[in-house]
Amino acid sequence: MIRAIRSELLKVRTTSLWWLILIGVVGFTAVAVAFNMLATYVTLHPDSVGPRGGGTGEGLLNAVTGLYTSGQYAGTLLAMVFGILIFTNEFFHQTATATFLATPKRTLVIGAKLIVAVIVGVVIALITTVLAVASGAVFLSTQHADLYLGNADVLKSIGLNWLAFAIWAVFGLGIGALLRSQILSVILGLVAMLIGQTVVQVVLALLAQYFHESWLMKIAYYLPSSASSIMTSPQGGNGFQWWAGALILLGYGAVAAVIGTVITRRRDIS
C-alpha cells in the first residue's frame, strides 16, 4: 500500500497538473478574499452603503467566517476536479495498463488514489486557509475590528474547512472511477456542484407546491452542495447540525468511491 501511495504521489508531482491547480487555487482565493473583505467592510460600516444597516453581531460573525474561509467554493471545486483527473488520466493517457501491471491488485491502486486525493484536498485547504486567515486578520486589524480568532464558531468553521476539501476530492475520485471518461466526469461533477443544486431545488419546490407536501423541499438539503454548506456554516443550517452535513457529504463520497472500485475491479483494461 505504501508503494502504491508513493507511486501515486510521484504521478502527481511529475506532471504540470499540480501547479495548474495551485495557480487556480491561489487565484480564486485572492478573488474570494477581496470579495469577502468588501462584504465584511460593508457589515462593519453599514452607513457606507445605505441609510440603515444591520451591523448586528451575527451578521458580522458570518461575514468574518466567510472571510476566513475564502476560496472554499472554488477551492473545493478544484479539489473535486483534481480527484476526477487523478483517476480519469489513467484512461485518458492510457497509463492504466502500466499502473495495473505494476500493481495488479486494483483495490490497492484505488485506495492509494483515495489517500492522495485526501492529502491534496487537505493541502489545497491549508493553502487557502493560510492565505485567507492571514490576509483577513490583517484586514480586520486595519479596520480596528475584533479578529474573532477566539470565537469558537469561527474556529470551528476554519477547522472544518479542510474536511470539505478532502471529501470533495474523494467525491471527484468516485465520479471519475464511475464514469472513466474525463470530459464527462468533469462536466457531471461541475453540474452537480454548480447548477444541479438550483435545478433540483426548483423542481422540488414545484413538486412540493403541486402535491402540497412541504417535506419534498427538504430533499434538497441532502444534495452534495447544500450538505457542504451546512457543514461549514458556523451554526449549521436548515435545522441540521454541521456533522450531519459532513456525514451526508461523506456518504456521497463513500458511495461513489465504493461503486467506482467495484466497477474498476471487474472492468477489462484494454
Partner 1 sequence: MADGQIVVSGLTKQFRKVRAVDDLSFTVQPGRVTGFLGPNGAGKTTTLRMLLGLVTPTAGTATIGGRRYVDLPDPLKIVGAGLEASSFHKGRTGRDHLRVLCAAAGLPAARADAALEMVGLSPAAKRKVKGYSLGMKQRLGIAAGMLGDPQVLIFDEPANGLDPEGIRWMRTLLSGFADQGRTVLVSSHLLSEVQLFADDAVIIAAGKLIRQGPVAELTNLDGGKSVRVVTPEPDKLFTALKLPASAVTRDDDGGFLVAGVPAPQIGKTALAAGVELHELAPQRADLEKVFLELTSGKAGIR
CA diameter of the chain: 69
Q: Which of 49, 93, 138, 214 binds partner 1 (CB under 8 A)?
A: 93
Residues 6 or more apart in contact with residue 207 via CB below 8 angstroms = 213, 216
Instruction: Rule CB under 8 A: say whether 11 interacts with partner 1.
Output: yes
Instruction: Rule CB under 8 A: say whether 269 interacts with partner 1.
Output: yes
The answer to whether the CB of 269 falls within 8 A of the CB of 97 is yes
Cell of 129: 486557509
# residues near partner 1 by CB under 8 A: 26
Q: Which of 27, 38, 49, 105 binds partner 1 (CB under 8 A)?
A: 105
Q: Which of 29, 70, 88, 99 binds partner 1 (CB under 8 A)?
A: 99
CA distance 90 to 87: 6
Instruction: Rule CB under 8 A: say whether 15 interacts with partner 1.
Output: yes
Beta carbon nearer to partner 1, 11 or 220:
11
- Sign of the alpha-carbon torsion through 221, 223, 228, 229: negative
The answer to whether the CB of 232 falls within 8 A of the CB of 158 is no
Stretch that binds partner 1, among 51-59, 128-136, 216-224, 262-270 (CB under 8 A): 262-270
The answer to whether the CB of 182 falls within 8 A of the CB of 87 is no
Beta carbon nearer to partner 1, 87 or 168:
87
Which residues in this chain contact partner 1 in the complex, by CB under 8 A?
3-4, 6-7, 10-11, 14-16, 89, 93-95, 97-105, 266, 268-270
